[in-house]
Structures are given as structure tokens and as C-alpha cells.
Chains A and B, each alone.
Chain A
Amino acid sequence: MSDAIRFDHVAYRTRGFAIEGLSLAVPTGSIYGFLGPNGAGKTTSIRLMLGLLPVGAGAITVLGRKVPAELPVALAATGYVPERPHLHPFLTVAESIDLHAAFHVRFDRRWAGELIREFRLAPDRPLARLSKGEMGKLLILQALCQQPELLVLDEPTDGLDPVVRRDVLSAVVDYVAERQATVFISSHLVHELERLCDWVGVMDQGRLVTEMPMEHFKNGIKRLRLRGPTERLAEAPFAVLSRSAKEPESAVWVVDRWEARMTEWIDARGVAIDRVEDLDLEEGFVERLRARREVARA
């Protein structure tokens, strides 16, 4: 499978913030969730891939095109919904769509008309008077109707009410199902991505913490309730993200890279496993982030 987006050892430095040696690969046709706390570097990474910021070192390709050398070709097949609205506020909804269509040769005006009705947008309303939800819908509409191979969504539902959020995300899901497009979606709303994404990358403090298929991300991380001399579990075949002991001989561990056969390895060391619990994406995200920060501090 080729990569729709590829970062190779990308570095970018600005006052008070740096991205160092960022390498990531977004498989073509995937819905890639880009997670991270505020200030982790998600938006900066997106701006780098779209040529909005100059790359300090390393290389970026988008849809097989080098950025920034072949940027216009890459952008012709990329729909972008930024974190903050960026459209001309004095235009009306219809005028903004017309302007967008003028620059995108594959823009589907008929579908734009359908989405205007579906999203209940008033074509003659000036953008300056749109609510946050309406603006979010318009941004998605414009990005979808240009029929991109790649959709880059930067916090597309941040601050939207649940109804609008559902409308926006279902439009994206329908589009992906129909066109097999790639979606790169950045968000700190982890639950939202859990249902949507099949790949996940986690950023923190300008670095990629982890990147893997969503299934591995969720299944590989477990909470173990252990009883017995856990000190015998040194050199475990899994990564221990956190340990807590509420009473002697009883501990709760959160572990990564877990596989079912590892229960035997633990049993063999005289430690009983009371329970192996699944973690949802948010818990897994928080545990991985916490572990990474502890390692960084150490």
C-alpha cells in the first residue's frame, strides 16, 4: 500500500516550539486520526504538509508529490478544512462556493447544491454572519465538492454542537466510502476518532509518540489486575506504561504490546492475573502520553 502522506525526518523550528525528526506515513485509503494534546504540533505538522510553513530539514510528500516543489499539483487533489475559518467574510455562501469552484477543476456544483440543502445553509447569507456550526459545514462542503483524493481536516468539529458534528462527520464518512479517499484528521476529541479512524498517530511536544493501525492501538494496550510478587515480572515481553499498587501483593498495571499468550508467561512466574481489561482509545492515548512524558522526564 502506498502512502498518501509521508514525512521523512522532518524538522521545523520556531520561537519556543520545535518539531524534530518527525517521520510518519499515512496509508492511501486510510482514515488517519492525528491525536495529541493542545500544542503538541498537530496543526504545525498539517501546515508543513500543505506548504504553509517552510520545512527546516527532511522531506514531505503528499499524494506522491514533493512539498513544496510540486505543491499546486498536490493541493489540486487535497481538500483542507483548517482549525480556524479562513474564508473571505464579505462573501455570501454562494459566492464563496463559486470562488472555490473557480480554482478547483473537479468541483461538483450539483453536489454542492445538494449539500447546501442538506446542511440547511442559506446561499445568500454573508459568511461574517454564519454561526460556527454553519461555517464548519460550509468548510466541509467546499472541501468535499472539490472531490479530493486526500482530505486534511484540522479539528473540524471543535466547538460544534453534537448535531452539526454528526452531520459533518457523516458527510466525510459517506465520501470516503464512495470514493476511497484518504482522510487525515487531527483532533483532541479522542472519542470522535475512535469510531471513525482505522489508523492513529499520536503527537506530543513536537514528536510522534506512536503510529499504528487503530486495531493494534486499542488491542495492544491492556489494564492487568495482578496478584502476587510482581517484582518477578522484570524483563516482561510487553511494555509497562504504568504501575499502581493499592495493597501488598496486588497491583494494577497498564501494559502495551500485549498478546493473549503472555498470560502464560506471567503465570509461570507465580503471579496471578485477576483480570485483563480493555482500554478505550482515550484511556490508551492518555496512558501512552503519560508513559512517554515520564520517560522524557527521566
Chain B
Amino acid sequence: MLSAMIRLHWKSSRAWVLAAIAAVVALPIVSVALAWPHDSADVASFLARLDAWSLFYPAVAGVLGAVMAGLTWRSDRRGDFVYALTLPIERWRYVWYRFLSGAMLIASVAAALWLAALLTVATTPRAAFLHAYPTALAAKFGLATLAVFSASFALVALPGRVRQVGARAILALIALQALVFLLGWQGNWLVPVLEALTDRFGPLGILGGRWMLIDV
């Protein structure tokens, strides 16, 4: 059943998965090639340029995780979940297979990044005090994508009405925050919420921090 679900997920999202694979294969190769110093002593500027490129890793992870979650339920939703709900398996098991199949495809993208990072590191001569982190980078990318995928998966799976109410509540809070800001009143709740989400120990904290393939 799981392999059938992986095939189903692949069929619905292969364009995105292939695009993500292309992006994560290109990222380490291109970033190191473009950041590589002509003057071998200019390590600081090399790291600074590489750091600038590293923003793309969490961006790709975030987009891929959210898109994969959206595509997971899209065709089920289009059929009012009738096919899924009339399959002879427990509903929690169907949701679990859906999640696992998405996670497998994300793992394939992370594996592509790992191979590309290994290749880049292997073909790049570097100073002894510089270290390469291809495995850590790929693992972090995989986990970050999985974190976004999990959160989005749960949100997208909510009933339409609940999602509407939630979206309206969030928009109302943002609008209220903007009003408070414009009127010069005290009160700031959006920044603490965002900080809590992306804090080191927050659910999306893994998107922060350093994403360096080569570092000291």
C-alpha cells in the first residue's frame, strides 16, 4: 500500500520534486563555484559570499515542504475524499501513508542535495582550517523540509471551514496589530509569535541558523 501511495504522490508532485532536485543539486555547485576566491587568502569574503547563498537552502526547503503538503491532499479534496474514505483501511493509516509518501519524496530531494554537496566538496580544494559539512547540510535540509511539510500537512488536512476560520482569525490579528502600530499604541503580539515559531526550539526553528556547506 505504501509503495502505491508513493507512486500516487510522485505522480501528483513530480514536477515540483524534480524542480527541487534540480535546485538543490545546483545550489552547492553554483554557490561554491561563484563564491570561490580568486585570491586563495581571501577566505573571509569567500565565507561571506557562501553565507549569502545559504539563504536559498531554507527557502527551497520551505517552499518544497508547503507545496508537497498542498499537493498531498489536492486530488483527495477534489473528489471530496470519497475515494480515500471508501478504501478498506483505517483512516489514521491512510493519513499516515500519505504523510510517509510525502516524507519519502522529500528524503529523495535531501539525498540529491547530499550527493551534490559531496561532489562539490570532493572537487573543491580548500584550506586546512575550512571544514565541509555535506551530510549535516543535507540532513538539516531534509529535516527543515519535513518540519514545514508536517506543519502544512496538518493545516491542509483540516476541514475547509476550520481553515477558513483560522485564516480569518490570523488576518484579523494582523490587521489589529497594524492598527495598533499606526495609532502608536503599545502592544506587539506578532513578533513574539513569529519568534516563538522560528526560535531555536520552535517548530520551525530549524529553518534558522547557519546553512554552510563549507565553514571554519
A-B complex is real = yes
Report how far A98 CA is from B86 CA in the complex, Å: 16
When the two chains form their complex, are residues A91 and B88 in contact, meaning their CB atoms are under 8 A apart? no
When the two chains form their complex, are residues B12 and A103 in contact, meaning their CB atoms are under 8 A apart? no
Main secondary structure of the interface of B (DSSP, over half): helix
Report how far A186 CA is from B154 CA in the complex, Å: 36
When the two chains form their complex, are residues A102 and B4 in contact, meaning their CB atoms are under 8 A apart? yes
B77-111 vs A, CB cutoff 8 Å, 1 = contact: the mask equals 01110110111111000000000000000000000
List the one stretch of A81-89, A190-198, A225-233, A249-257 in contact with chain B.
A81-89
Which of A76, A80, A103 has the most chain B CB atoms closer than 10 A to its own CB? Answer: A103
Decide yes or no whether B75 CB sits under 8 A from chain A.
yes
A70-98 vs B, CB cutoff 8 Å, 1 = contact: the mask equals 00110110101010111111110001001
When the two chains form their complex, are residues A99 and B4 in contact, meaning their CB atoms are under 8 A apart? yes
When the two chains form their complex, are residues A75 and B11 in contact, meaning their CB atoms are under 8 A apart? no
Chain A residues with CB under 8 Å of B4's CB are 98-99, 102-103
B85's partner among A51, A87, A90 (CB-CB below 8 A) is A51
Chain A residues with CB under 8 Å of B79's CB are 84-88
Main secondary structure of the interface of A (DSSP, over half): loop
Decide yes or no whether A122 CB sits under 8 A from chain B.
no
Q: Check A75/B80 contact, CB under 8 A, given A90-B12, A102-B1.
A: no
Nearest residue, chain A, Cβ from B4: A102
Nearest residue, chain A, Cβ from B82: A86
Decide yes or no whether B168 CB sits under 8 A from chain A.
no
Decide yes or no whether A50 CB sits under 8 A from chain B.
yes
When the two chains form their complex, are residues B83 and A87 in contact, meaning their CB atoms are under 8 A apart? yes
When the two chains form their complex, are residues B88 and A88 in contact, meaning their CB atoms are under 8 A apart? no
Nearest residue, chain A, Cβ from B79: A86
Decide yes or no whether B8 CB sits under 8 A from chain A.
yes
Chain A residues with CB under 8 Å of B90's CB are 72
